[in-house]
Amino acid sequence: MIEVHELTKRYGAKTAVDSLTFTVKPGIVTGFLGPNGAGKSTTMRMILGLDRPTSGTATINGRPYAEHTAPLKQAGALLDAKAVHTGRSAYHHLLAMAATTGVPRSRVDEVIDLVGLHEVARKRAGAFSLGMGQRLGIASALLADPEVLILDEPVNGLDPEGILWIRHLMQNFAAQGRTVFVSSHLMSEMALTAEHLVVVGKGRLIADVSVAAFIEQAARDTVLVRSPRAVELHDLITGPGVTVLSVERGAFEVSGLSAAEVGDRASAAGIALHELTVQRPSLEEAFMELTKDAVEYQTVGAAA
């Protein structure tokens, strides 16, 4: 379990993390979502004791990470996959880590097999592809068999097979009753991986919600209506709870009414319909809508 309470980090005048409070529960994968610069990495670094908070607290299994007697048994993390000694082989990188943290040698072979690096374990890590580097980073995170796994953008730059592999690894880890906290700026990826979402923008909490609830909210349909008598039909259906989102010549988009309701009303008034299409926003669109005011560097015109 990870508990973050009123966590704040300022760099001079810049507030990178602004009074964040949330809990990451065991047994499920929790996605940490937000646009670039939202403060995800800074929050993860503070949870792991790598950055000192300006104020507030972050604990892992009830204590600040650094105060645990065997911190690596509590939480393993992948923050930057390139942070390995490039001259060492994957095997020796892990062996050195194991030796300094009291992990038995046999566990090194175990995690190498677990992440599928058996064939290349004796090769220099500096020559690894991005995907192999990510696997090695995850092997390091898993080395001490931790209760909590913290991964910062683990699928960045991976091919579809690598993405699938990490997704299953996280889900299996959570299914064992452990805690998984994974950051991403891709809603579509998190919808497939996570069960719960913590969404941040400009350092602030925007949503703390189950993926199912987010999808349900996002999936609010709109109906595109095209008719030669669009103006009349438009006037006929407007009322409480009905929002007309866009109007163009001969067509409009409406929310708050089902396609059947629009069709019935048109039929009752003897108005012909030339199109009646249910439109469902993609999850990515719903996420962008949610975070649109919290995007740090917005392209001019992007808000429209």
CA dihedral 99, 101, 106, 109 (to 10 degrees): -90
Please tell me what DSSP assigns to residue 258: -
Provide the b/e sequence for 56-67 (b: ≥16 CB within 10 Å): bebbbbeebbee
Member of 18, 20, 28, 42 binding ligand ATP (CB under 6 A): 42
By the 8 A CB rule, do 38 and 31 touch?
no
Size of the site for ligand ATP (CB under 6 A): 13
38 binding ligand ATP? (CB under 6 A): yes
CA distances (Å), origin 76, targets 137, 178, 299: 10, 12, 36
Member of 18, 31, 37, 230 binding ligand ATP (CB under 6 A): 37
DSSP 69-133: SSHHHHEEEES-TT-S-TTSBHHHHHHHHHHHHT--HHHHHHHHHHTT-GGGTTSBGGG--HHHH
Q: Interface with ligand ATP by CB under 6 A: which range of 37-45, 78-86, 94-102, 222-230?
A: 37-45
CA distance 109 to 298: 46
Q: Which is nearer to ligand ATP, 41 or 74 (CB)?
A: 41
CA distance 43 to 21: 11
> How far apart are CB 12 and ligand ATP at their closest, in Å?
7
78 binding ligand ATP? (CB under 6 A): no
> How far apart are CB 273 and ligand ATP at their closest, in Å?
45
34 binding ligand ATP? (CB under 6 A): yes
In which residue are the tokens 């060492």 written?
Answer: 88
Q: Interface with ligand ATP by CB under 6 A: which range of 39-47, 66-74, 115-123, 251-259?
A: 39-47
40 binding ligand ATP? (CB under 6 A): yes
Member of 135, 167, 185, 196 binding ligand ATP (CB under 6 A): 185
Q: Which is nearer to ligand ATP, 50 or 271 (CB)?
A: 50
CA distances (Å), origin 275, targets 7, 66, 146, 256, 262: 51, 62, 56, 18, 11
Q: Which is nearer to ligand ATP, 15 or 171 (CB)?
A: 15
Site for ligand ATP in 11-30 (CB under 6 A): 11, 14, 16
Q: Which is nearer to ligand ATP, 79 or 144 (CB)?
A: 79
Name the site residues for ligand ATP (rule: CB under 6 A).
11, 14, 16, 34, 36-42, 185, 296
